[in-house]
Amino acid sequence: MSNDLKSGSNLEKVLRSGHFAFTGECGPPKGANIEHLKEKMHPLKGNVDAVNVTDNQTAVVRMSSWAASTIMVQEGIEPNFQMVCRDRNRLAMMSDILGVYVMGIRNMLCLSGDHQKFGNHPESKNVYDIDSLQLISLAKKMRDEGKFLNGEPIDVPPKIFIGAACNPFADPFEFRVYRLAKKIEAGADFVQTQCIYNMKKFREFMKMAVDMGLSEKCYILAGVTPLKSIGMAQYMAKMVPGMDVPNELIQRLKGAPKGKAAEEGIKIALEQIEEFKEMKGVSGVHLMAIEWEHRVPEIAERAGMLPRPKV
Amino acid sequence: MIVADEKSLPEILDMIKDCNHILVLGCKGCVTVCNVGGLKEVQILASALRIGRKKDGRIVKVDEEILERQCDPEYVAQIKDRVQNYDGVVSLACGVGPQFLSEAYPDQHFFPAVNTKFFGGAVAHGIWEERCAGCGNCIIHNFDGLCPIARCSKSLMNGPCGGSSNGKCEIDKEILCIWDSIVRKKMASGQLNDLLKVMPIKDWRTARDGGPRKRIKEDLTK
Ligand code: SF4
Ligand code: SF4
């Protein structure tokens, strides 16, 4: 990793200066309700280094991730703008990257995106002009070479801190670390993992990543989603493809006193965060408190993540 | 081959509702092989249409015929002398057939009786699967002969997405994750390295995205 900042984003500076990063997540509303959006994002302010803004998450139409990210910038919160390959061709991707940069957005997460079959418009055409790896390389080309895909020069290239997702729990497990390596080769500066529940498997994954030198080339943020209820845990275990929720965790939630499952879920998350702080190759935690944004200050506090560094 | 599927009888009955005399026209090409538009299916559809209309109290006269191929003007020309005898022609060929017919006989109405689905083949008796999306620039040698463009739900070029689970695609437990198969095949043969380079971004001009396509073989045009 060279010494010049690639984007100058807060997240980049936090990571570069060696702090243990802490990022959050916020899904834009299903409508143009800006008050609702602000209400959801405000608990995150000052409690995380950057906030992922999801892009039509689970293929359900919501306010665009770039617009919601822009509002975040105006509210003094640093967004991590998510872009999926499902809804845009390369023209739209490049113009959106330029557009968000102009609006002050400095982090971008490149994703394949959930297939539209899961969402509320399964009738739609799927684009997938390019895939998430190629999107990473596209953002890198725009930033570092100052060129569009076709090689034409860009008049003021967008300096974006490029992120990627990584799911160590999808199949085939043996290939996952290589896919991460490919994302890094394509140009990922940081990686946020899928929600981790199976710690044993994650330790194994991280060991491979460290042995391959991947954590030297890219910042790896471990994904944490507190389980709010037994129902949520069971749903994730059964219904979400590529999600690995071990039975012990479900049993542990079941064993909690009545009405205390959510607290037990938070405790589990806090234990995980403690372990990640010490885990070799892990540079931070990505907290996806799904529809639980208002609990983030408390979780951040209890996890010893506050105050966030000023860099 | 091109694989097609039957349209429902009510839909076809609706298409021919204004006709009193029709021709049901099959094709001996792909649709015969995939059991949707051959002679047998021509006969079955013709009698279904007769019965359907009889129930409605409006008799329809249905003739039956099959062409060698409907995607070839030479064979399409074979019905020249009789095509105008009908109020409409129901084609059991893939989507190409009714179009070649419409172009050859602009005054006649041609109705599609099948839904053309994909390029593929039979994997078991009565089961057909997609294999190719006709992208116009075949690259499957990079993937051990398996096509992620046609067979990965997201046409990914660089490995399985985060939804791949137990060899199945995230969109449906009945659909194979072709990337799982590609990776396992490469691992088994010790050639995983082949999958480690980032695949270049595809030029879709050779596919349908570049506009309707045409093939010209110069020596045959002279
Ligand atoms: S690469 Fe293109 S031509 Fe080859 S099988 Fe796939 S879709 Fe068909
Ligand atoms: S699960 Fe496999 S086939 Fe389905 S979209 Fe992901 S990589 Fe493609």
Peptide linkage before A168 cis (omega within 30 of 0): no
Of the residues B139, B151, B153, B154, the best mutation for testing chain A's interface (the one with the most A CB atoms within 10 Å of its CB) is B154
Does residue B217 lie in a domain region? Answer: no
Of the residues B182, B201, B206, the best mutation for testing chain A's interface (the one with the most A CB atoms within 10 Å of its CB) is B201
Res A174: pLDDT:
94
Q: Is the pLDDT of residue A2 over 60?
A: no
Report the chain B residue with the minimal C-alpha distance to residue A179: B159
Q: Shortest Cα distance from B38 to chain A (angstroms)?
A: 31
CA atoms lying within 13 Å on the CB side of residue A292: 20
Does residue A311 lie in a domain region? Answer: no
Instruction: Name every protein residue with a CB atom under 6 angstroms from any ligand 2 atom.
Output: B 152-154, 156, 160-161, 163-164, 169-170, 177-179
What is the reported pTM? Answer: 0.96
Last residue of a domain, which of B66, B90, B117? B117
Does residue A3 lie in a domain region? Answer: no
Please give the residue range of the domain that contains residue B162. Answer: 133-209
**In chain B, how many domains are there?**
2
Query: What distance lies between CA A272 and its chain's CA centroid?
Result: 17
Measured at the CA of A279, the angle between CA A276 and CA A282, to 5 degrees, comes to 75
- Interface predicted TM-score (ipTM): 0.94
Does residue B124 lie in a domain region? Answer: no
Amino acid at B104: A
Of A37, A40, A33, which is closest to residue A296 (Cα–Cα)?
A40
**Residue B112 and residue B137 in one domain:** no
**Residue B36 and residue B110 in one domain:** yes
**How many beta-carbon pairs under 8 angstroms link A with B?**
106
Does residue A149 lie in a domain region? Answer: yes
**Residue B42 and residue B98 in one domain:** yes
Please give the residue range of the domain that contains residue A239. Answer: 10-302
The domain that contains B25 carries what CATH number?
A: 3.40.50.2300
Q: Is A126's CB within 8 Å of B202's CB? A: no
**Residue B69 and residue B147 in one domain:** no
Q: Is the pLDDT of residue A1 over 60?
A: no
Average pLDDT over residues A107-122: 96
Measured at the CA of A137, the angle between CA A241 and CA A41, to 5 degrees, comes to 60
Q: Is B199's CB within 8 Å of A130's CB? A: no
Does residue A1 lie in a domain region? Answer: no
* B146 close to ligand 1 (CB < 6 Angstrom): no
Low-confidence spans in chain B with pLDDT less than 50:
none
Does residue B32 lie in a domain region? Answer: yes
Does residue B122 lie in a domain region? Answer: no
Res A241: pLDDT:
84
**Residue B104 and residue B13 in one domain:** yes
Does residue A248 lie in a domain region? Answer: yes
Distance, in Å, from the CA atom of A42 to the CA atom of B128, rounded to the nearest integer, reads: 53
Does residue B175 lie in a domain region? Answer: yes
Residue A165 confidence class, pLDDT cut points 50, 70, 90: very high
Does residue B7 lie in a domain region? Answer: yes
* Residues on chain A touching B155 (C-beta within 8 angstroms): 128, 131
Condensed to tens digits (0 to 9), the pLDDT of residues A167-203 reads 999 999 999 999 999 999 999 999 999 999 999 999 9
**Residue B113 and residue B137 in one domain:** no
* Residues on chain A touching B180 (C-beta within 8 angstroms): 171-172
Q: Is the pLDDT of residue A59 over 90?
A: yes
* Residues on chain B touching A112 (C-beta within 8 angstroms): 154, 156, 161-162
CB neighbour class for A154 (10 Å; exposed up to 12, middle 13-18, buried from 19): middle
Q: Is B163's CB within 8 Å of A179's CB? A: no
The domain that contains A153 carries what CATH number?
A: 3.20.20.220
List b or e across A15-33, with b for residues whose CB sees 16 or more CB atoms inside 10 angstroms.
Answer: bbeeebbbbbbbbbbeeee
Does residue A98 lie in a domain region? Answer: yes
Does residue A112 lie in a domain region? Answer: yes
Q: Is B158's CB within 8 Å of A179's CB? A: yes
Condensed to tens digits (0 to 9), the pLDDT of residues B102-154 reads 999 999 999 999 999 999 999 999 999 999 999 999 999 999 999 999 999 99
Average pLDDT over residues A30-42: 96
3-state secondary structure of B58: coil
**Residue B137 and residue B111 in one domain:** no
